[in-house]
Structure 1
Amino acid sequence: MSSPRLNSPDMLGALAPVKPRFGPRHRWVVLGVGVAAQASFSAAITGLPVTGPTMRAAYHLSTAGVGFVLGSIYLGIAVSEIVWGLWTDRFGERKILLIGLLSTALALALMAALVVPHGSSTPSIGLLAVAMLLVGVLGGSVNGSSGRAVMSWFRDGQRGLAMSIRQTAMPAGGSIGTLLLPWLARNHGFRPVYLVLSAFCVAAAAAAWRWLHQPESMAGAAPKAARSESAVSPLRRKDVWRLATASAMLTFPQLGVLTFAAIYLTDVKHASLAVVVATLLVTQVGGAAARIGSGRYTDLHGNRRGMVRAIGVASGIVLIIAALLNGAPTLVVATALAIGGLLANAWHGVAYTEIAYMAGAERAGTALGLENTTVFGAAFLTPLLIPFLLDRSSWPVVWVVIGAIALLALPTTPRNPAAVTSTQN
C-alpha cells in the first residue's frame, strides 16, 4: 500500500491553518448591532416621555400619573437587570439579546392592540403602568447583553470609545423617538406609537441573529489585573457598588430633563412644540457627541472615574443655574436645560466601560446588570420625586434638588484609578 504524498491537495488542506470565521473588523459590525439593539429600546424609554403632554390628555392622567406610568418602564428594567446580567454571563449575549428583543416587540404589539384609548374607552392607569412595567422587564435584557458583546470584541484602550459609541444609542434612539413619537401620538394616537417601537425591536433582532456571534478567541478579555479580580462577584465588591451608585446619581438630572423639561417648558414657559423638541434634541444629540468624546479621551488619557466625577459637578452646577434663570426668557431657560441635560447624558460610556473592566470579561454581564439596576432604579424614582417636589414647592426647587443630587457623584465615585489604563492601541 502506498503512503499518501505529503504534497497532495488533501494533505496540504489538512495542514493549512484554519481561516477565522470572523476577521478583526467584525468587531465594528458587532458594535453596530449593539447600537441598533440599544437604540431600538431607547426609542421607547426616552422617546415615550416626550409624549408626556399628549399622554396626559389621551389617557386622562394627572402630572403625577404621567410620572408614575413612565416611571414603571424604568422600574421594570431595574428589577430585572441583575437577573438578565447573570443569564447573559451564563448563556451568552446572542441568545439573551434575541430573546429580549423579540419578547419586547411582542409586548409592544400587545399594547398597540389592547392598551390604547379608543372612542370613549380609556385604559386604566393601572393597566397602562403594568404594560410599561412588562416592556421594561423584557427590554432590560438589551442593556447588559449588548454591552457584554462589545466588551468581548474590543480590548482595553479601545473599549472607552466602543462602549461610548454603543451608549450613544440611548440619545440616538431617543432622538428618533423625540422626532417621531410626539407627532404620531398627537396626530394618529398611541397605537402607531407602540407598533413603530415594536417594529424597531424586530429589525434589531434580525440584525443580531445575522451578525452577532462570539469571537473565536477572547483577545478582548480584560488584562490580568481585571481577570484576577473577576474571581470575586461584582455584587460583593464595594468599589463596584460605589461606581454604580454614582451612576444612579447622574441619572436623576438626565431623566429630570428628558422626562419633565417638555412639561415644564409647556406649562410654565408656554414654549412651542418646536422649542420643546429642539431642547430635547440638543440634550440627546449633544449628549451622544459628549459620550463619544469622553470615551475617546479616557482611552487616550485614562482616569475614567475622574471623568465621571467631573461630569457630575458640571451637570449639577448647570442645572442649579437653570433654576436661578426661571424668570428669564424662554429660550434662555431652554438653553440652560439643554446644556444641563447634555452634560447629564455624557457619562454613560465611561462609567459602563469602567464597571465592566473592574469586573473582568467573564463577569461583565453581571456588573453591567448591577449598573443598569441602579441607573434605572434612579430613572424610576425621578418621575416620582419631581411631582412630589412640585406639590410642595416649585420648578426652581426641582432643578436645584436634581442638580444637587448630580453633585453627589463627586464623593460617591471611587477614587482608586488602579484598574484604569491609558494604553493607546
Structure 2
Amino acid sequence: MTALVTPGTAVRRFGPRHRWTVLAVGVGAQASFAAMFSGLPVTGVLLRADYGLTTGALGLVLGCLGLGVAASDLVWGMLTDRFGDRNILLTGLSATGVLLAAMAAAATPGAGAGTAALAACLFAAGALGGSVNGASGRAVMTWFADDRRGLAMSIRQTAIPAGGAVGVAVLPPIAGTWGFGAAYATLAAFCLLSVGAVARWLHEPDRAAGTVAPTAAGPSPLRRPDVWRVVLAAALLTVPQMAVLSFTAVFLHDARGAGGAVAAGVVLVAQIGGGAARIWSGRRTDRGADRRTFMRAIGVLTAVAMAGAAVLADAPLPLTAAALAAGGLLANAWHGVAYTEAAVLAGPDRAGAALGLAGTTIFSAAFVTPLALPVLLDATSWPAVWAAAALAPLLAVPLTPRAARRA
C-alpha cells in the first residue's frame, strides 16, 4: 500500500540493513503461531483426559488447527499481496490473540467445553493465525534478493520448530499444573507481544530510495503447474512431520508405557534439529545447490527414517525414540527451501499468493494426517502407521520437478 503523506511531513526511510529487523519480526510472528500449532498436540494425553475425548476425537480436534490454516491461507496470501504484510500481520495476530484469550475464559474443561466447541475454537485459531504464513514470507521476499532468500526464508521457517519447541517445553507443564485456561492465556500473550513488534518495526521497503527494485507481476501461481507440483510435494512431506508431532506422545504412552518427558524429548529433538537443518539447507541452496534436488533428497531420507521407525516400533525404547526423532528432524528440514522455491517461481509481487497456496496444501495435509492415522491404527497397528508416514515423502520425490538451471 502507498501511504498518504501531507506536505512538510518527514518520511522515514529504511535502508537495506532494516531487512534483518524485518526478518526478526517475521520470525517472532511465525514463532508465536508455531507455539500453538506445535505445542498443543504434545498435550494430547492431557487434552484427551481433561476434555474426555476418544483418540479419534483427539485427532479431529488437533486436525482442525491445520484445517483452519488450509481454509484461509490462500485468502490471506492474496490479501497480503493487495494490502501489504504489515497490515495483514497486525490484523491476523491481534485477532488470534483475542480468540485465545476468549478460549482461556470460556473453552476450558472447567467451562464445560466439549469436542465440538474445542474443534471450532481451534479451527478459528488456525484460520486467523495462518495469516502469519504468507504475510511474513512476503516480507522476506520483498526485502531480500534471490541470493539470500533461501537463507532468509529458512530462518523464518526455523521459527516454526523454534516456536514449536517453546510450546512443547511450556504448554504440557502449564496445562498439567494450572489447566488449559492458563495454556491458552500463555499463547494469547505470545501473539499480542508479536503484534507490538510488528507495529513498531515491520515496514514496507522504500522502493523509491532503491532498497528493492520494482518487478512486474507474472501470471497467478494458481495457473502455474510447476508451482502446483512444488506445493503438492510439500504437502506429502508434511505427513511424516505431523505423524511424529501429533502421535508420538500417544504412541509412547499407549504402546510403550513411556512418560510424557520421553515424548517431549523426541519432539524437541525433531524441532530443534529440524530448525538447524532448515538454516543449513537455506544457506546451501543460496550457494548454488538446487532447491528441487534438495526436496527430492529429503523425501528419500525421510522415507528411510520413518521406515526405520516402523521396523523399530517394538525395539528397546531408546532405539524407537531415536528413530522417531530422526524422522521428525528430517521431516522438518525442507520448509524454507520449498516455500522459497514456490515464491521465487511466482515472483515477489505474487509471493503472497504462492505462499498462501503452499500453506493451503501443507496445512490440508496437516489436517488430514491426524484424522487418517487413527483410522489406520484401528485397522492395523502402530508399525503400519509409521510405514504410512514413510510412504508419503517417497511419493513426493517423483512429484517434485527436476532441477532447473539456476540463473
Q: In the superposition, relative to structure 1, how do residues 400 and 91 fare at CA in structure 2: closer, same or farther (>3 Å)?
A: same
Which residue identity is paired with 1:115? Answer: A
Determine the C-alpha separation between the residues in 2 that align with 1:231 and 1:278. Answer: 45
> What 5-or-longer segments of structure 1 have no aligned partner?
1-17
1:379-418 equivalences under 5 Å are: 379-418=366-405
Q: In the superposition, relative to structure 1, how do residues 212 and 187 fare at CA in structure 2: closer, same or farther (>3 Å)?
A: same
Q: Show the counterpart of 1:205.
A: 195
Determine the C-alpha separation between the residues in 2 that align with 1:156 and 1:50. Answer: 36
8 Å CA contact 2:16–2:211 kept in 1: the answer is: no
The partner residue of 2:129 within 139, 146, 149 is: 139
SS of the residue corresponding to residue 414 of structure 1 reads coil
8 Å CA contact 2:39–2:168 kept in 1: the answer is: yes
Q: Show the counterpart of 2:268.
A: 281
8 Å CA contact 1:151–1:221 kept in 2: the answer is: no
1:13-412 equivalences under 5 Å are: 21-118=13-110, 122-217=112-207, 219-220=211-212, 230-412=217-399
- Largest Rg, 1 or 2: 1
Q: In the superposition, relative to structure 1, how do residues 369 and 329 fare at CA in structure 2: closer, same or farther (>3 Å)?
A: same
Q: In the superposition, relative to structure 1, how do residues 294 and 277 fare at CA in structure 2: closer, same or farther (>3 Å)?
A: same
Which residue identity is paired with 1:273? Answer: G
Q: Tell me how far 1:273 sits from its aligned partner.
A: 2.2
Q: Tell me how far 1:231 sits from its aligned partner.
A: 2.1
Q: In the superposition, relative to structure 1, how do residues 390 and 220 fare at CA in structure 2: closer, same or farther (>3 Å)?
A: farther
Determine the C-alpha separation between the residues in 2 that align with 1:221 and 1:398. Answer: 49
Q: In the superposition, relative to structure 1, how do residues 160 and 379 fare at CA in structure 2: closer, same or farther (>3 Å)?
A: same
Determine the C-alpha separation between the residues in 2 that align with 1:317 and 1:261. Answer: 18
Q: Show the counterpart of 2:5.
A: none
Determine the C-alpha separation between the residues in 1 that align with 2:102 and 2:12. Answer: 42
SS of the residue corresponding to residue 231 of structure 1 reads coil
TM-score by length of 1: 0.91
8 Å CA contact 2:229–2:401 kept in 1: the answer is: yes
Q: Tell me how far 1:122 sits from its aligned partner.
A: 3.0
Q: Bigger shift: 19-28 or 176-185?
A: 19-28
CA deviations 1:309-356 (Å, max 9, x no partner) are 111110111100110112211111000000000000000000011110
8 Å CA contact 1:156–1:220 kept in 2: the answer is: no
8 Å CA contact 1:152–1:221 kept in 2: the answer is: no
Q: In the superposition, relative to structure 1, how do residues 75 and 23 fare at CA in structure 2: closer, same or farther (>3 Å)?
A: same
Determine the C-alpha separation between the residues in 2 that align with 1:93 and 1:285. Answer: 27
Q: Tell me how far 1:282 sits from its aligned partner.
A: 0.3
SS of the residue corresponding to residue 274 of structure 2 reads helix
SS of the residue corresponding to residue 163 of structure 2 reads helix
8 Å CA contact 2:290–2:403 kept in 1: the answer is: no
SS of the residue corresponding to residue 71 of structure 1 reads helix
Determine the C-alpha separation between the residues in 1 that align with 2:211 and 2:342. Answer: 19
Q: In the superposition, relative to structure 1, how do residues 272 and 220 fare at CA in structure 2: closer, same or farther (>3 Å)?
A: farther
Q: Tell me how far 1:387 sits from its aligned partner.
A: 0.3
Q: Tell me how far 1:219 sits from its aligned partner.
A: 4.8
Which residue identity is paired with 2:140? Answer: V
Q: Tell me how far 1:301 sits from its aligned partner.
A: 1.8
Give the paired residue count: 396
Q: Tell me how far 1:21 sits from its aligned partner.
A: 1.6
Which residue identity is paired with 2:267? Answer: L
Q: Tell me how far 1:19 sits from its aligned partner.
A: 9.4
Q: Bigger shift: 122-131 or 368-377?
A: 122-131
Q: Show the counterpart of 2:7.
A: none
Q: Tell me how far 1:295 sits from its aligned partner.
A: 0.5
Q: Tell me how far 1:359 sits from its aligned partner.
A: 0.2
Q: Tell me how far 1:274 sits from its aligned partner.
A: 2.1
Q: Show the counterpart of 2:4.
A: none
SS of the residue corresponding to residue 214 of structure 1 reads coil
TM-score by length of 2: 0.95
CA deviations 1:211-264 (Å, max 9, x no partner) are 000111275569xxxx67x42100111110000000000000001001111111
SS of the residue corresponding to residue 13 of structure 2 reads coil
8 Å CA contact 2:81–2:353 kept in 1: the answer is: yes
Determine the C-alpha separation between the residues in 2 that align with 1:260 and 1:208. Answer: 34
CA deviations 1:36-66 (Å, max 9, x no partner) are 0000000000100000000000000011111
Determine the C-alpha separation between the residues in 1 that align with 2:166 and 2:149. Answer: 25
Determine the C-alpha separation between the residues in 2 that align with 1:282 and 1:221. Answer: 40
Q: What root-mean-square deviation, in Å, do the aligned CA atoms of Structure 1 and Structure 2 show?
A: 1.4
Determine the C-alpha separation between the residues in 2 that align with 1:31 and 1:83. Answer: 22
Determine the C-alpha separation between the residues in 2 that align with 1:271 and 1:289. Answer: 27
Q: Bigger shift: 245-254 or 22-31?
A: 22-31
SS of the residue corresponding to residue 408 of structure 1 reads helix
Q: Tell me how far 1:416 sits from its aligned partner.
A: 4.6
Q: Show the counterpart of 1:14.
A: none
Percentage of identical aligned residues = 54
Q: Bigger shift: 23-32 or 409-418?
A: 409-418
SS of the residue corresponding to residue 216 of structure 1 reads coil
